[in-house]
């Protein structure tokens, strides 16, 4: 008998299982883990590489779960095209690596996520890329920083941890007038507003946070104009910064409940912020939904779907912050955000560790500052944990 009719056991084991025919389609996305695709011939590989044919050949360049996630994010952000990256930092890095070359200039807003600042101020500088910073609450200060070498302005909708709200419309008016792309890091504000409709060129998210929502995946996404995203896709693949199928698939699950989670977290965050503000052990509360927040009026105009899940508050100093962290019974100190359970972070020791102490002090990122990422628990249980810890001797 020929080997083909009766293959050996090693062959039976090694051959891939045949695709299963079905006239019906799965209701939810299938997980497509294949790294590589079988190509029918040279005309097909040429067609795939030139874009004449649609399909996949190698997962680092693209795979169905990333395409599904990117399409959903484009629908949410009203963007033409999107790319899933290995992390939020990979989304920022691949966009920057695409837009800048030696001698270029980048403008960032003050108080960005620490690693974003580090990427621009300590890493890109090694490749001859310079930068300037501006106060996003004062868009008029941006215009004079833009030069003929400026290739990108990067801001966050809601900054970390001081929750300053960027006047995206005013910033976009300046960048559009100067013909410079504006990228908005929308990690703290998915669904709260749509930066592209306000004039941004690119929107990026750390999908790791609120979009994934369960602290079980690390991914990023950047969306924007099709032509620019295709260039970023090619750079991201070359630098190995694209996202993988399993985490894209998990993120699709998380995204399904994002709207509900976001509404609930915003409502609880507002409630806790008001109670913290009235507590004697708390010296300062930072929440855009409170009238005491410096950007409250702007937040009311810009954030049409709630003020977000993040609340920061100061307990006076590093010692008090440590005491609070050790006294809490249920809210864990975990240096991320956006989970279904409430977590807290100490920005000076985590996200902003190693940043210029003078800059941190000037911005108000003080040693007593705690940042709460509000989850889905019963608000009374969260308040009881916080109150007892604040009052613990
Ligand atoms: C505002 C913001 N942008 C970007 C990032 C980077 O995201 P990732 O950890 O997925 O690389 C973070 C991470 O905390 C963040 O808070």
CA distance 140 to 146: 11
Side-chain half-sphere CA neighbours of 125 within 13 A? 10
206 lines ligand 1 (CB under 6 A): yes
pLDDT for residue 2: 56
CA dihedral for 353, 354, 356, 357, sign (positive or negative) = positive
Cα-to-centroid distance, 88 and ligand 1 (Å): 5
Final residue of a structural domain among 215, 233, 256 = 256
Same domain? 275 vs 383: yes
Same domain? 84 vs 217: yes
The side-by-side arrangement of strands in the sheet containing 343-345 is: 284-286, 310-314, 369-373, 343-345
The side-by-side arrangement of strands in the sheet containing 105-109 is: 81-85, 220-224, 202-206, 182-185, 150-156, 105-109, 130-134
Final residue of a structural domain among 256, 276, 291 = 256
Number of structural domains (the chain) is 2
Residue 7 in any domain: the answer is: no
User: For ligand 1, what atom is nearest to the CA of residue 160?
Assistant: 1
Residue 120 in any domain: the answer is: yes
Same domain? 163 vs 109: yes
What are the two backbone dihedrals, phi and then psi, of residue 154, each rounded to the nearest 5 degrees? -120, 125
Mutate to test the pocket of ligand 1, among 84, 85, 87, 88 (most ligand atoms within 8 A of CB): 88
User: For ligand 1, what atom is nearest to the CA of residue 337?
Assistant: 14
87 lines ligand 1 (CB under 6 A): yes
The domain containing residue 56 runs over which residues? 42-256
CA distance 115 to 113: 6
Same domain? 127 vs 199: yes
CATH number of the domain to which 178 belongs? 3.40.640.10
Rounded (to 5) percent helix, strand, coil in the chain: 40, 15, 45
pLDDT for residue 4: 73
Final residue of a structural domain among 240, 256, 272 = 256
Q: Among residues 202, 190, 196, 199, which one has the least CA distance to residue 158?
A: 190
Same domain? 166 vs 207: yes
220 lines ligand 1 (CB under 6 A): yes
Same domain? 245 vs 305: no
CATH number of the domain to which 324 belongs? 3.90.1150.10
Same domain? 178 vs 110: yes
Same domain? 151 vs 296: no
**Predicted structure pTM score:** 0.95
Residue 131 in 3-state DSSP?
Answer: strand
241 lines ligand 1 (CB under 6 A): no
339 lines ligand 1 (CB under 6 A): no
Residue 19 in any domain: the answer is: no
pLDDT for residue 3: 60
User: For ligand 1, what atom is nearest to the CA of residue 156?
Assistant: 1
CA distance 207 to 3: 49
For the chain, which residues score pLDDT lower than 70? 1-3
Same domain? 271 vs 313: yes
Same domain? 197 vs 118: yes
CA distance 70 to 8: 43
Closest Cα to atom 7 of ligand 1: 88
User: For ligand 1, what atom is nearest to the CA of residue 90?
Assistant: 11
pLDDT for residue 79: 98
């Amino acid at each position: 008998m020929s080997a083909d009719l009766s293959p050996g056991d090693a062959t039976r084991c090694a051959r891939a299982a045949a695709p299963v025919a079905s006239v019906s389609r799965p209701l939810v996305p299938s997980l497509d883990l294949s790294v590589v695709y079988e190509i029918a011939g040279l005309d097909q590989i040429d067609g795939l590489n030139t874009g004449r044919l649609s399909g996949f050949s190698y997962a680092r360049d693209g795979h169905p779960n990333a395409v599904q996630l990117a399409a959903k994010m484009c629908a949410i952000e009203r963007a033409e095209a999107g790319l899933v990256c290995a992390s939020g930092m990979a989304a920022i890095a691949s966009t920057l690596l695409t837009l800048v070359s030696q001698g270029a200039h980048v403008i960032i807003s003050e108080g960005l996520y620490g690693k974003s600042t580090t990427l621009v101020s300590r890493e890109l500088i090694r490749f001859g890329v310079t930068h300037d910073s501006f106060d996003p609450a004062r868009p008029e200060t941006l215009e004079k920083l833009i030069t003929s070498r400026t290739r990108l302005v990067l801001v966050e909708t809601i900054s970390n941890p001081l929750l300053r709200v960027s006047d995206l419309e005013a910033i976009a008016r300046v960048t559009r007038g100067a013909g410079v792309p504006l990228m908005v890091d929308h990690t703290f504000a998915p669904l709260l507003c749509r930066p592209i409709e306000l004039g941004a060129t690119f929107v990026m998210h750390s999908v790791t946070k609120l979009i994934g929502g369960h602290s079980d995946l690390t991914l990023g996404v950047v969306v924007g104009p099709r032509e620019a995203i295709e260039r970023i896709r090619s750079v991201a693949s070359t630098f190995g910064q694209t996202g993988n199928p399993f985490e894209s698939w998990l993120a699709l699950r998380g995204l399904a409940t994002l709207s509900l989670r976001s509404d609930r977290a915003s409502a609880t965050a507002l409630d806790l912020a008001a109670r913290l503000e009235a507590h004697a052990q708390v010296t300062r509360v930072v929440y855009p939904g409170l009238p005491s927040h410096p950007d409250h009026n702007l937040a009311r105009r810009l954030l049409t779907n709630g003020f977000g899940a993040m609340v920061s508050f100061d307990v006076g100093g590093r010692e008090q912050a440590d005491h609070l962290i050790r006294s809490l019974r249920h809210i864990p100190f975990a240096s991320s955000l956006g989970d279904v359970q409430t977590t807290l972070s100490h920005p000076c020791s985590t996200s902003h560790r190693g940043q210029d102490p003078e800059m941190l002090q000037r911005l108000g990122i003080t040693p007593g500052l705690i940042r709460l990422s509000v989850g889905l628990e019963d608000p009374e249980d969260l308040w009881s944990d916080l109150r007892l810890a604040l009052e613990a001797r």
